[in-house]
Structure 1
Amino acid sequence: MDLGLAGKNVVVTGAAQGIGAAVSWTLAAHGCRVVALDYNVDQLDKTVAAINDAGRTAIGYQLDVRDSAAVERLIDRVDTEFGPIDVLVNVAGVLRLGRAIDLTDEDWATTFDVNVSGVFYMSRAVGRRMSARGRGAIITVGSNAGSVPRMKMAAYAASKAASAAFTKNLGLELASTGVRCNVVSPGSTDTPMLRGMWTDDSCVRDTLEGSLSAHRVGIPLRKLADPSDVADAVAFLASDRAGHVTMHDLCVDGGAALGA
């Protein structure tokens, strides 16, 4: 399906691997010029090179989204060298597992610095320019954990709830300028982050079938999401096909949150 994205300038954070890489690939395949950002520059370079080798257009920059000054400098550079940013996709995120009462100050601070402050810094820098031009789309990749409690995920879930709430508020404030702001909330997705949580085959089974001891239902569609499933949802919200959609949270989790 032609989403009318060809020629748009897109910025994607957390673009080195997982969902961020899939978003970069998908938007590039739709004809976007992708500015891929990540702290992991080695993996980022591989992803960008692969996209370009496939005949698409991408350029990568190392960025720590926790550094507000660095964010402003880079967005200035992109705006000057590549032209106006049409779409921002906030994907960069970290996961620190642990019971709430066992989390360290550093666990909590790092989670919020990346997952919330990073979204704020990027959205502020890009949103300011979009609103001045009267157009643009901002999509934040959240998580279904932001609406359904998960064992040992208090910091992550709280941060994702916060970033979703921020994005919706931003969407309300920028609506009159023509800028749309939406959230995509994946569930269990086949990424290095998810596989890093698994210790044995029972973890895979519990993810698909549910776990009574963890007070968690399984995935009604009986499969993990592929990163491309999430990327397709992002591409729709970035496109003019979603031209009347803003402040929406699109859950892509195979029904795991039971529609919450």
Structure 2
Amino acid sequence: MQKNTIITGAAGGIGLAICEALLAQQHQVWAVDLDIGPLQELAIQYPQHLHRVALDVSDFKSVNAWLTPVLASHRIDELVCAAGVLQMGYVHELSPAAWQRTFAINTEGVFNLCQPLAAHMRAQRQGAIVIISSNAASTPRSNMSAYAASKAATTHFARCLALELAPFGIRVNSVSPGSTDTPMQQSMWQMGSSKDTVIYGSATDFRLGIPLQKIATPADIAQGVLFLLSDAASHICMHDLRIDGGATLDA
């Protein structure tokens, strides 16, 4: 059966890989991002399946204004929240604006989609939600306090939402990627980190490396998301799937 899926952060990095994978499975996909330009090629390739939506997920009123007619006319089976930003900075240097923007997108943006979709899925007594978090949610990271804190909040929100929706047959899970070869990761390398530091660790930063000795691709993360959305994961709920090559030693 064809499924209808909404995904945020769909125009780049992990979100784009998930979007591509969903389309390859013939899902109807509403692909949400601030800049939908990078989705042009997919729009040409999947003209009957891809619906591009230019939207700021941190703006609840805008999200609700777009979603209301969509939910009135379509059954939405799946939601993937992949929109996210990284604001680097030591706490003593971090601006309130950077902190607030991080939470506005990484945490409030998740709530802004999940709140109306929770009501929609409760009514239909079916659905699956996957929220992209980060292994930084459970592991302290120097120079990344805003990002790590926002993802920790997101991960726990996913658990609470899962508890509320499970009695209605709705599964909510999170995926926590480690270092993944995306523009976000590459921006960190431009700020003094390096690929080798990520893979082999850094004693200076009290950071472990990656036991598999490689960085994930966006497609690696997408496969985990597709599994959690699928019927093969029909009894998996409230789970946080870490896809990090063993970097957090499952701690």
TM category (shorter chain) comes to over 0.9
Structure-to-structure mapping, 1:193-204, within 5 angstroms = 193-199=184-190, 203-204=194-195
Which of 72, 96, 102 matches 2:64?
Answer: 72
Report the AA paired with residue 66 of structure 1.
S
Partner of residue 29 from structure 1, selected from 24, 27, 45: 24
**Alpha-carbon distance between aligned partners in 1 of 2:159 and 2:192, rounded to the nearest angstrom:** 38
Q: Which residue of 1 aligns with 2:232?
A: 241
Q: Residue 32 of structure 1 contacts residue 57 of structure 1 at CA under 8 Å; is this kept in 2?
A: yes
Give the deviation of 1:200 after TM superposition.
8.1
What fraction of aligned residue pairs are identical, expressed as a percent?
A: 43
Specify whether residues 248 and 103 from structure 1 end up closer, same or farther in structure 2 by C-alpha distance, changes over 3 A only.
Answer: same
**Pick from 42, 51, 57: which aligns with 1:59?**
51
Q: Which letter does structure 2 place at the counterpart of 1:199?
A: Q
Cα distance in 2 for residues equivalent to 1:12 and 1:86 = 11
Give yes or no for the alignment of 1:165 onto 2:156: yes
Unaligned runs of 5+ in 1: 1-5
Give me the whole-angstrom Cα distance separating, in 1, the residues matched to 2:10 and 2:26: 17
Are the aligned partners of 1:28 and 1:51 in contact in 2 as well (CA < 8 Å)? no
Give the Å deviation of 1:70: 1.1
Look up the match of 1:191.
182
In the aligned structure 1, how far is the partner of 2:126 from the partner of 2:241? 21
- In structure 2, the residue matched to 1:259 is 250
Runs of 4+ in 1 over 4 A off after TM superposition: none
| 3-state SS, counterpart of residue 234 of structure 1 | helix
Report the AA paired with residue 180 of structure 1.
R
**Which of 39, 42, 48 pairs up with 1:50?**
42
Give the counterpart letter for 2:213 in structure 1.
R
One-letter amino acid of the structure 1 residue matched with residue 15 of structure 2? G
Structure 1 length-normalised TM? 0.93
Query: Which amino acid counterpart does residue 202 of structure 2 have in structure 1?
Result: S
Aligned pair count reads: 251
Q: 1:9 aligns with which of 1, 4, 11?
A: 4
Q: How far apart, CA to CA, are the structure 2 residues paired with 1:140 and 1:31? A: 21
Number of the residue aligned with 2:103: 112
Alpha-carbon separation, structure 2, partners of 1:74 and 1:14? 16
* Alignment partners' CA distance in 2, 1:210 and 1:106: 30
What SS does structure 2 have at the residue aligned with 1:155? helix
Residues 112-131 of structure 1 mapped to structure 2, 5 A cutoff:
112-131=103-122
SS in 2 for 1:162: helix
Please, which of 92, 102, 110 is the counterpart of residue 101 of structure 1? Answer: 92
- Measured in 1, the distance between the counterparts of 2:19 and 2:190 equals 29
For residues 131-154 of structure 1, give each alpha carbon's deviation from its aligned partner in whole angstroms, at most 9, with x where no partner exists. 111000111000000000111010
Equivalent residue of 1:59, what SS?
strand
1:77 CA drift (Å): 2.6
RMSD across aligned positions (CA): 1.6
Q: Is the 8 A contact 2:130 2:175 kept in 1?
A: yes
Q: Distance in 2 between matches of 1:208 and 1:150?
A: 15
Distance in 2 separating the partners of 1:57 and 1:69: 26
Q: State the TM-score, normalized to the length of structure 2.
A: 0.96
SS of match in other structure, 2:158: helix
2:175–2:241: 8 Å Cα contact kept in structure 1? yes
Flag structure 2 segments of 5+ consecutive residues without an equivalent. none
